[in-house]
């Protein structure tokens, strides 16, 4: 089922949003300004879009697989979550990064990607004294002989 999503572009210098070819349901996001970073420096890279997500959905923003190789930056929070309340006229999406080497990101460079997911349903937590399922061996035990 298709959903219509309103997108505001803050510049005409970046390509419009589109799916990554025929091979993925992720959508590339691009730097909307030239950004220079020194090793160890933190910046919020503007992505040039504000998006009105449908009610009950959130966006997950992650680096592209080539982002570190091409730019020497990593996303500081691992994954960015944008909920559907972040949809005002000036709520431009940004990517928080730290540089692991001196680098430059140019306007329209593809640096991250996103897709939307349904938000988690409301959960009710029931406290119990015991969980009756079989123990798997504790944290880090998968794959051990």
Residue 125: inside a domain: no
pLDDT for residue 143 is more than 70: no
pLDDT at 142 over 60: yes
CB 19 within 8 A of CB 27: yes
Q: Is residue 70 part of a domain?
A: yes
Residue in 83, 91, 133, 135 annotated catalytic: 83
Expressed as residue numbers, the domain containing 63 is: 6-118
Q: Is residue 1 part of a domain?
A: no
Q: pLDDT at residue 126 above 90?
A: yes
Query: Average per-residue pLDDT in the chain?
Result: 92
Given a cut of 80, whether residue 29 has pLDDT beyond it is yes
* pLDDT for res 141: 67
Does residue 137 sit within a domain?
A: no
Q: What is the pLDDT of residue 144?
A: 58
Q: Residue 33 burial by CB count (10 A; 0-12/13-18/19+): exposed, middle or buried?
A: middle
CATH of residue 18's domain is 2.70.40.10
Judge whether 93 lies within some domain: yes
Is a pLDDT exceeding 60 seen at residue 131? Answer: yes
Does 35 map to a domain?
Answer: yes
Instruction: Assess whether 83 carries a catalytic annotation.
Output: yes
* Number of structural domains the chain divides into: 1
Mean pLDDT of 13-35: 90
Question: What does DSSP say about strands 103-105 and 6-9: parallel, antiparallel, or unpaired?
Answer: unpaired
138 part of a folded domain: no
């Amino acid at each position: 089922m298709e959903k219509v999503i309103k997108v505001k572009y803050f510049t005409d210098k970046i390509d419009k949003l589109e799916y990554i070819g025929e091979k993925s349901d992720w959508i590339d996001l691009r730097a909307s300004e030239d950004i220079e970073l020194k090793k160890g420096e933190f910046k919020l890279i503007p992505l040039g879009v504000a998006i009105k997500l449908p009610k009950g959905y959130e966006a997950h923003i992650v680096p592209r697989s080539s982002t570190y190789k091409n730019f020497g930056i990593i996303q500081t929070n691992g994954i960015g979550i944008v909920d559907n309340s972040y949809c005002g006229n000036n709520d431009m999406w940004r990517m928080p990064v730290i540089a692991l080497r001196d680098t430059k990101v140019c306007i329209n460079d593809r640096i991250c990607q996103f897709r939307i997911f349904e938000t988690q349903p409301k959960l009710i937590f029931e406290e119990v004294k015991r969980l009756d399922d079989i123990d798997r061996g504790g944290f880090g035990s998968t794959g051990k002989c």
